[in-house]
Amino acid sequence: MKKGYKAAIYIFCVLAASAAISAFVIFAANDAFALVKSGEERTFCLDTEVSVSEVSKKLKEEGFISFPLLFRIYFSLKSDKKTVPAGTYTLSRAMSYDEIRYELFGIGKARTQVRITIPEGLTTDEIIDLFIANGIGTKEKFIEVINDYDFDYDFISLIPANEGRKYRLDGYLFPDTYMFYSDSSEAAAIDKLLSNFSRKLTAEMMADAARAGYSVDSIVTLASMIQKEAYYLSDMAGISSVFRNRLASGMKYLQSDATGLYAEGYDTYENAGLPPGAISNPGYAALEAAVYPANTKYYYFVTGKDKKAVFSKTYAEHKRAIANIRSQA
């Protein structure tokens, strides 16, 4: 009986070990060769040149691979390169190790790229139209992605579900010049803009905003108004101070002309406080001004013929400034 029991235990252990090894081989092979993997394209950013070992860890952390050690071994067998250059790459969980290697080093069949410049202050609709004009995506899919796609950024979970908000990601599509693959998915294209936003609005800026009583979304909304109202960068901090002084003093209406042009329910002549969301996608200067306004006692401004902002402390001063501008016509 004892011999039979030991034999049964031995056979069980062998079978269990074989099953575990087989499962590992299947999972590892799928990870390396993308046999049945799936996933949307996302950006993978390296700020500096790093070792293959560090890249494999980062690929695992961001969900592109499951076995970093296996990736390093495979990489060393396929290439004599020890580091990966800095850059922004488009990767997917559905890629094999070879496809990831090709992307990181530009090996193999070249994918057509398109250079797109997104100016500061465009609306989300205008950005969508810009992508479509350059052969990327469809309007319907972009709207779906912007409103519903599960992007992996902490700030997105902080966006309030305000009633009347036009698009969830209004204000977060960071303006800049980008290189996109012409076959990029809508999610990959938007992810690149969000990734840039996440680097521009720093933790220090968010902390300073919070100390002043502003959420990330309220800062983004305020910045979008500043972006639309200011013609010159030098006016942004002053315009920010006007809006923030009004909010701090309890004035009911911000009275930003630009808000009335965006969407129903956004007009700050008719609706108290900040609008339900951003009215444009602001650049860094506007974000910085929203967080760090000029220290003033201004509550009004008007734009002159030269597009410079003229600031006033009182309504009487403001009326005189308007009259002076009109007299110059």
Mean pLDDT of the 168-180 span: 95
Tell whether the model's pLDDT for residue 324 goes beyond 80: yes
Distances (CA, A) of 122 to 74, 275, 278: 44, 17, 11
Tell me what the pLDDT averaged over the chain comes to: 87
CB 167 within 8 A of CB 124: yes
Instruction: Return the pLDDT at 267.
Output: 95
Going by pLDDT thresholds of 50, 70 and 90, the confidence category of residue 45 is confident
Closest CA to 107 of 61, 136, 75: 75
Q: Find all residues with CB under 8 Å of 57, minimum gap 6, and list them.
A: 68
Contact 312, 318 (CB under 8 A): yes
> For residues 265-286, b (16+ Cβ closer than 10 Å) or e, as one string?
bbbbeebeebbbbbbbbbbbbb
Tell me what pLDDT residue 26 has: 62
Per-residue pLDDT, 48: 87
* Continuous segment of H or E residues that includes residue 177: strand 177-181
Among residues of the chain, what percentage have pLDDT more than 70?
86
Spell out the residues 6+ positions from residue 72 whose beta carbon is closer than 8 angstroms to its own.
52, 53, 56
3-state secondary structure at position 46: strand
- In this structure, of 4-18, 176-190, 206-220, the range with the lowest mean pLDDT score is 4-18
**How would you class 35 by CB atoms within 10 Å of its CB: exposed for 0-12, middle for 13-18, buried for 19 or more?**
exposed
Among the listed residues 62, 89, 70, the one whose alpha carbon sits nearest the alpha carbon of residue 31: 70
pTM: 0.70
One-letter identity of residue 62: E
DSSP 61-129: HTTS-S-HHHHHHHHHHH----EE--EEEEEETT--HHHHHHHHHT-SSPPPEEEEE--TT--HHHHHH
Q: What is the mean pLDDT of residues 230-245?
A: 97
- Number of Cβ within 10 Å of residue 213's Cβ equals 10
Higher pLDDT, 105 or 322: 322
Please state which of the ranges 14-23, 116-125, 149-158 shows the lowest mean pLDDT: 14-23
- Environment class of residue 130 by beta-carbon count within 10 Å: exposed (0-12), middle (13-18) or buried (19+)? middle
- Range name among 5-14, 59-68, 260-269 with the lowest pLDDT average: 5-14
Q: In the structure encoding, which two tokens stand for residue 269, read together?
A: 């002549």
List, in sequence order, the alpha helices (H) in the chain: 2-33, 52-61, 68-78, 97-105, 124-133, 139-148, 154-157, 186-200, 203-211, 216-229, 236-249, 284-291, 315-327
* Separation between Cα atoms, residue 72 and residue 247, nearest integer Å: 55
> Residue 282: which of 214, 210, 233 has the closest Cα?
233
The 10s digit of each residue's pLDDT in 6-26 is 555 555 555 555 545 655 556
CA distance 64 to 31: 9
| pLDDT at site 231 | 96
Structure tokens that stand for 2 in this block: 């004892």
